[in-house]
Structure 1
Amino acid sequence: MNYTLHQLQVFLKVTQTESITKAAEELHLTQPAVSIQLRNFQDQFDIPLTEIVGRKLYVTEFGREIASAAEKIVDQIHAINYKTASFKGQLTGRLKISVVSTGKYVMPYFLTGFMKRHPGIELKLDVTNKAMVLNSLDENEVDFALVSILPESIQVEAIQLMENKLYLVSNKDFEFKKEKYAKEIFEQITLIFREQGSGTRLTLERFLRNNNIPVRKKMELTSNEAVKQAIIAGLGCSVMPLIGIRNELKDGYLKIIPVEDLPIVTNWNLIYLKNKRFSPVAEAFLTYLHEEKNNIIAEHFSWFGEKRVSNN
């Protein structure tokens, strides 16, 4: 056998994503390049590593065994690179963070300066829903997690980063007949919810429950972007985090409906397991946040602190 490290990395990414298209995107390669590397790697084995059923790629049982071995090899290569950089006096290693979907508008700003300061660090940033984020943290698969609602079932420590403001949002065709609406407006509109397990959905449901507000018409969509596009198209309204709709408000595609007791205000928290033993990289990031978070907020999120949000 004469497979290369590059082939191992491509095969490992294909098994993780179960998609040549997604693997190509994450590796910043073309789909044909990934397909060629996968085929060249497969040619060195008599037993199939993957199979196509319909249009979906599946990893065989043998393929998963090879993927497990490939992951160990790739990890050892990373370890060699880290040790080499360490001898040169650089802070090296992996920083692993899991982020709820709306957190993708927040977390990168708290990472950029740190990553520039320590170029020897490799970042793994996973963006998914709240349930998956907490599972990754509970299984100790990541160093930190970004959430807007603190978990009750896991013992964690938290660093409060900034506020998370949620407003009732419509498309540009909504006609404002009142300067401020009563909460009963929720009974008169089609309300779009995020999927079960979403932090935004939990916050909205808690608000409706605490105010005894029944919802007559509702639909459910599985991503923040899907909700945003549905509102723009006129399918309904939704309560959305301000952080994720700034451009759409500015361009006039979305409007904030003024409602009493809104916005709902929570906080973005970077959490980690209680009594966790940090790697040098995670420890350095924690120190960086304590020192720089106020400067980062002032530089990138000064607009977010305004008391009144305009629809213009």
Structure 2
Amino acid sequence: MNFTLHQLRVFTVIVQNKSITKAANELNMTQPAASIQLRNFQDQFDIPLSEVIGRQFYVTEFGKEIYQIAERILEQVNTIQYKTEAFKGLLSGKLKISVVSTGNYVMPFFLKGFLRMHPGVELVLDVSNKTQVIRDLEKNIVDFSLVTVSPRHLNIEEESIVDNKLVLVAAKDNPVDDKIKSKQFFKTTPLIFREEGSGTRFTMQQFFKEEQIEPKIKLELTSNEAIKQALIADIGVSIVALLSIKNELEQNELKIVPVKGLPLHSNWKLIWLKKKTLSPVAEAFLDYVRKEKENVYKTYFSWTDDY
């Protein structure tokens, strides 16, 4: 066999994307060039690595096994590069993190100082729904994921970094009474919900289950931003992460409605696969988070203590 590291890289990216065209775009290659590299890599084996049925790209069982080996080889090659840079007193390489959509109000404040300290680090940050975030972690595509609800089916390590307060919110001019309300409020007032699988929705449902409340669902939306716009438009009320509405509170567009039992509390957690060997960059970031999380909280999130 005489395959190259470049061929390994092209093959793994094609498998991850399940598309030669998408992989070529990610690798800044033309589609024909990526196809040639895949074919040259395939020529090293007597057993097919992939097949195209109709126009759909599929990886064979043998191809999946070769993909796993290729990933490990590329990780070791990257480790050689990182170790070389480390001996020069530099930290370089990729830091790959997947974040659920609301976590976008948290993660940048932990990345800011770390990236300034280590300008040689390249960040790959994917903001997506919880299902995709967990899938990326499960497939070992990322170093870390940021969530509020840990997946039960994965063997993971976790580091809590910030308290997540969930508050009942309405448009500033919504006629809902600002006086403290009973939990029975939820039995009569329709709510705007996040989609099934959302960490916010999970925490809400746990609360309603414990209080034996069957809330009314007025509307179901798939992103925190969509819910905020619906609230500002006074379509309804909702329970949202306090961290996500700082600007709207300051601009007097939304108000917090006090209800007994709220705010609800969960934690933003950095999670990673327990068996994963973290790269030097990932180890450095985890160490930074552990050392600096109190300072980050005081600098950027202490305003939440007033609510």
Q: Does the alignment reach a TM-score above 0.5?
A: yes
C-alpha offsets along residues 268-293 of structure 1, whole Å, 9 cap, x if unaligned?
A: 11111123211111111111112111
Q: Contact (CA 8 Å) 1:168, 1:257: kept in 2 or not?
A: yes
Change beyond 3 A, Cα 1:83–1:290: closer
Amino acid at match of 1:296: V
Question: Within the alignment, does 1:180 sit opposite 2:180 as a pair?
Answer: yes
Deviations 1:70-112, CA, capped at 9 Å, x for gaps: xx9xx89x96986885675421111111111110000111111
Instruction: Give the match for residue 297 of structure 1.
Output: 297
Q: Which residue is 1:128 aligned to?
A: 128
For residue 241 of structure 1, what is the aligned residue in structure 2? 241
Distance, in Å, in 2 between the alignment partners of 1:45 and 1:165 is 47
What SS does the corresponding residue of 1:301 show, helix, strand or coil? helix
Query: Is the alpha carbon distance of 1:45 and 1:89 closer, same or farther for their aligned partners in structure 2, counting shifts above 3 Å?
Result: closer
1:171-214 deviation digits (Å, cap 9, x = unpaired) = 11223535201111112222111111111111111111211112
Hey, what does 2:219 align to over in structure 1?
219
CA RMSD of aligned residues (A): 3.6
In the alignment, is residue 115 of structure 1 matched against residue 115 of structure 2? yes
Q: Which residue matches 2:94?
A: 94
TM-score (norm 1): 0.73
User: Counterparts in 2 of 1:166-177, with a 5 A limit?
Assistant: 166-177=166-177
Question: How far did 1:231 drift?
Answer: 1.1
**3-state DSSP class of the match of 1:197?**
coil
Residues 45, 104 of structure 1: CA spacing in aligned structure 2 closer, same or farther, 3 A cutoff? closer
Following TM superposition, the consecutive aligned residue runs of length 4 or more in structure 1 with deviations greater than 4 angstroms are: 41-47, 78-88
Cα offset, 1:153, TM superposition: 1.7
| Correspondence 1:10-49 to 2 at 5 A | 41=30
Structure 2: unaligned runs, 5 residues or longer = 1-9, 20-24, 37-54, 60-70
**Distance in 2 separating the partners of 1:186 and 1:161:** 30
The CA distance in 2 between the partners of 1:86 and 1:178, in whole Å, is 57
Relative distance call for 1:45 and 1:270 in structure 2 (3 A) is closer
**What per-residue deviation string (whole Å, max 9, x for no partner) do you get for residues 121-152 of structure 1?**
11111111122211211222111111112222
Distance in 1 (CA, whole Å) between partners of 2:161 and 2:112 is 15
Cα distance between partner residues in 2 of 1:141 and 1:281: 15
Gaps of 5+ in 1: 1-8, 19-23, 28-36, 48-59, 65-71
Q: Contact between 1:102 and 1:244, CA under 8 Å: does it hold in 2? A: yes
2: CA distance, partners of 1:262 / 1:159: 25
> In structure 2, what is the equivalent of residue 152 of structure 1?
152
- Greater shift, 85-94 or 112-121, is seen at 85-94
User: Residues 222 and 45 of structure 1: is their aligned pair in 2 closer, same or farther, counting only changes over 3 Å?
Assistant: closer
Q: Percent of aligned pairs with the same residue? A: 48
Q: Which amino acid aligns with 2:215?
A: V
Task: Give the secondary structure class of the aligned counterpart of 1:183.
Answer: coil
Partner of 1:3: none
Pick closer, same or farther for the CA change 1:130–1:42 going to 2, 3 Å: closer
- The residue number in structure 2 matching 1:288 is 288
Is the CA contact 1:172–1:252 (under 8 Å) kept in the aligned structure 2? yes
Conserved in 2, the CA contact under 8 Å of 1:190 and 1:235?
A: no
Residue 258 (1) aligns with residue 241 (2) = no
C-alpha distance in structure 1 between counterparts of 2:149 and 2:268, whole Å: 8
Corresponding residue of 1:55: none
> Is 2:193–2:217's contact at 8 Å kept on the other side of the alignment?
no
Q: Secondary structure at the match of 2:184?
A: helix
Q: CA deviation at 1:241?
A: 0.2
Cα distance in 2 for partners of 1:229, 1:181 equals 24
For 2:35 and 2:265, the matched residues in 1 are separated by 58
CA distance in 2, matches of 1:102, 1:203: 14
* Secondary structure in 2 matching 1:203: helix
Deviates more, 1:268-277 or 1:220-229: 268-277
